[in-house]
Amino acid sequence: MQAQGKDRSSPFTNVVRLIAAGAAAGVLTAAVALPAVGGAGVTAKSAMEDLNLKPEELDEPPLPELTKLLDAKGKEIAQFYFENRKVVTLDKVAPVMQTALLAIEDNRFYEHGPIDIEGTIRALVTNITSGGVTQGGSSITQQYVKQVLFNAAETPAERAAAIAPTVSRKLNELRYAMAFEKKYSKNEILEKYFNIAYFGAGAYGIEAASQRFFDKHASELNLAEAATLAGAVQNPNRTDPNLGKESRALLLERRNLVLDTMVKLGKIQQPEADAAKAKKLGFKDVKFPGGCESSKYPYFCLYVQHEILNNKEFGKTAAERKKFLQRGGLQIKTTIDPKMQAASEKAIKKWVFAKDKPVAAQAMVVPGTGEIRAMAASRKFGNNKKKNEMSYNVVADAEHGGGEGFQQGSTAKPYTLAAALEEGMKLNDGFPSPAGYNAPSSSSFRDCEGNRVGEPSHTVNNSSEGGGGFQTLRSGTLGSVNTFFMKLEERVGLCKTVKLAKRIGLKRADGAALREVETFTLGVNETDPVTVANTYATFGARGRYCKPLAITSITDRNGKTQQFKPKCDQVMEEEVADAVTSIMSGVFTKGTMSGVGGIGRDAAGKTGTTDGYTAAWFAGYTPDLASAVSIGDPRGAFSHRLMGVNIGGRGYPYVYGASISGPIWKDSMIGALKGSSPVSFSSVDSSRFGGCTSSCAPKPAKNDREDGDGPEPDGAADPFDMFNMDDGDLGGPITPAN
């Protein structure tokens, strides 16, 4: 029978009571959070039985690892990480590193179970007598449990609970440790600990720490380096060498303590310890690049990053997608082509300087697949305003890290052209186009909800470089005649034009709905190079629209690969697309790019200069590559117009689409396609689109030169002679306006 008043609880249980009392009094040191004070004969087994502790399974979420971005050739171009970590097997960790860590953290690791009673008692006594924390009381298994709980925490409150110095948390930790000791071998637990531990300086896991601290693999660590990293795991935030001299001194002190402990345990001899102590800390502070700012292709990198963050294909919620990217340990193969990217960058650099306030941006897309081959800009990506860096993705839309974009200008006119051809108009159909256009009434233009959006009081003028006259689909497009396209849109219908533009991929850069106004055809919507290039790629693919594609495959940490194929639909008749191409092919010889010229193979395109010179574009395509180039001032296109500017060391009174964007497009496309065999466009169906219907050009007067464009004033030169055209090829004067 138990004597009255005598406590016959086990020493282990007494420890728990002591800890609880100490915690309540606020005097318990973190290192004595559990578990033992007591006499001889106390065992972990008896203690656990006394406390009725039973193993409890704990989920182990995959460790956050590096996610690597690869180009189309498989070469790394960027990496993302939530934690800088590379998981390695235990045989990739130097034996001296294993010895050093166990010496200071758990030297009886291979001898005890989930809890080391003897080691904990020793740590308790040492810490109390020293007045500080010099030895840990938890086993490696317990420490691993705590790290798993901390890593799995989703909120600050959960993370705080994972490391809270409470008895209940320590008891749960023991239950989980017991389960791990049954589930894994000692070597497996040690390997897991090495990969999960934080060493400071942003390095998680022994491999990242070895490279961060000493610029070598974990398998190559020497005694001094191993002791340094072993000393860092106890309080990595205090001994982080990046924090300054005091932290480095603390880390050096911890290194030497590890060396002394290894001597006491007989793991090394004193001369070895002395030689290691004589060495400097040796922290090399190796930068470990992460994120798009450090990528060779930052704008494309941003596009891929935001594609994953915003696409439900990579996770149902935003949080899941973020975790997928940051913690995935993925190999993401992308579509970017180093050769084409280099061609784009070279061409942009030739025409626009990085120091210029206006910025040029270009995207290249493959017709028929939507694969993005290049994304480049004249200004570097970053947050340094003094260096004139861009802080957002100027090549893409807001959904992919971009901004508001620039008004598209006359590169939007082919959408109306295509709609007219779909409606049955022929290449040489046309009508008189005045120098100024006013909508006949508000009902002349209706948006897709039926609202009247015509503005009779607003006059649309042609460029100062030319007037109107009778224009056909062909001549009006090549001359980019504003009033012609206003009348064409009026005839076809605003809504039909808008719907066609949407079908082939047009959208606003800011994600808002397209502005369905009467001047839609003149490109009043702000958009981005990726979007515009992709709409033109639809023409190049003979009416086949493909969603822009940046990712072709993702391989997870287990080696499982998921392929991503092009997502395409036939949104336009092939013959209609061919007719659009047949007209825009003439832009290099008979239109607004005639002063710049072509690229030596079949190509089609359109210049775009916005009203008031707020931005300038050129978009074009071959059968195998489409591209769009924009230039504008990100400080504000309307407050910083492209008038009287110096760009790329050249002065421009006015910047047109053919001034800078056109030459960039030409130079980059020549470079991008160099070495590839030219591919020809499909011929236009003359039986369907040749000639004209009821909207034919008036027959020329007798005194007209036989070119079919109408009579010239006495003594005036025929503006089409410079193009050496055949009769009836065009129906009016070319207006190289925009």
Set out the domains of the chain in order of their start, with CATH numbers. 83-277 (1.10.3810.10), 406-541+568-700+704-723 (3.40.710.10)
- Nearest to residue 365, comparing CAs of 355, 373, 353, 354? 373
For residue 84, the cross-strand partners are 203
Q: Are 580 and 540 in contact (CB under 8 A)?
A: no
| Of residues 608, 642, 429, 450, the one with CA closest to residue 522 | 608
Q: Could you tell me if 139 and 115 are in contact, meaning their C-beta atoms sit under 8 angstroms apart?
A: yes
pLDDT surpasses 70 at 711: no
Helix (H, G, I), strand (E, B) or coil at 725: coil
Tell me the residue ranges of DSSP E strands in 494-649: 526-527, 544-546, 551-555, 561-563, 568-570, 604-609, 615-621, 626-632, 643-647
Residue bearing the bigger pLDDT, 658 or 13: 658
d(CA 167, CA 17) in angstroms, rounded, equals 9
Q: Has residue 502 got a pLDDT over 50?
A: yes
The model's pLDDT over 362-381, given as tens digits with 9 standing for 90+, comes to 999 999 999 999 999 999 99
Q: What angle do CA 598, 600, 601 make, to 5 degrees?
A: 100
Give the model's pLDDT for residue 122.
56
Q: 194-230 in b/e burial notation, b at 16+ Cβ within 10 A?
A: bbbbbbbbbbbbbbbbbbbbbeebbeebbbbbbbbbb
Residue count of the chain, please give it.
738
**Dist. CA 250–CA 285, nearest whole Å:** 17
Q: Tokens at residue 213, please?
A: 């601290």
H/E stretch holding 69? strand 67-70
Over residues 584-616, the pLDDT tens digits come to 999 999 999 999 999 999 999 999 999 889 999
**pTM exceeds 0.95, yes or no:** no
- Helix (H, G, I), strand (E, B), or coil: what is residue 100? helix
The predicted-structure confidence for 518-577, as pLDDT tens digits, reads as follows: 999 999 999 999 999 999 999 999 999 999 999 999 999 889 999 999 999 999 999 999
**Residue 327 structure tokens:** 């913690």
pLDDT above 90 as % of the chain: 69
User: Higher model confidence: residue 154 or residue 88?
Assistant: 88
Banded model confidence at residue 4, pLDDT cuts 50, 70, 90: very low
On whether the CB atoms of residues 724 and 718 are closer than 8 A, the answer is no
In tens, the pLDDT along 11-69 reads 444 544 444 444 333 333 333 344 433 333 445 555 555 555 788 888 888 888 889 99
For residue 653, pLDDT over 70 is answered with yes
Residues 108-165 pLDDT 10s: 999 988 777 665 555 545 544 554 444 445 899 999 999 999 888 877 888 888 888 7
Place 720 in a pLDDT band, splitting at 50, 70 and 90.
Answer: very low
In contact, 298 and 292? CB cutoff 8 Å? yes
Q: Rounded CA gap, 233 and 438, in Å? A: 76
For residue 74, how many other CB atoms are within 10 A of its CB?
8
High-pLDDT (> 70) share of the chain, %: 84
Return the pLDDT at 467.
57
Per-residue pLDDT at 344? 98
- Here the tokens at position 306 are 């935001």
Contact in structure between 473 and 423 (CB atoms under 8 Å): no
Positions of E strands within 610-730:
615-621, 626-632, 643-647, 650-654
Q: What is the pLDDT of residues 473-489, one digit of tens each?
A: 999 999 999 999 999 99
Mean of per-residue pLDDT scores for the chain = 86
Q: Determine contact, residues 121/38, Cβ cutoff 8 Å.
A: yes
Token pair in block for residue 423: 């409606």
Q: Which residue has the higher pLDDT, 632 or 463?
A: 632
- CA-based nearest residue to 478, from 289, 736, 271: 736
Q: What is the mean predicted confidence (pLDDT) over 101-113?
A: 93
218-253: pLDDT as tens digits: 999 999 999 999 999 999 999 999 999 999 999 999
CA distance 676 to 699: 45
Contact predicate 79/330, CB 8 Å: no
Written in H, E and C, the secondary structure of 408-450 is CHHHHHHHHHHHHHHCCCCCCCEEEECCEECCCCHHHCECCCC
Under 8 Å between Cβ of 48 and 171: no
Q: In this structure, what are the phi and psi dihedrals at residue 204, rounded to the nearest 5 degrees?
A: -110, 130
pLDDT digits (tens, 9 = 90+) for 572-587: 999 999 999 999 999 9
CA 610 → CA 108, 462, 546, distances in Å? Answer: 76, 12, 27
Q: What is the DSSP letter of 691?
A: S
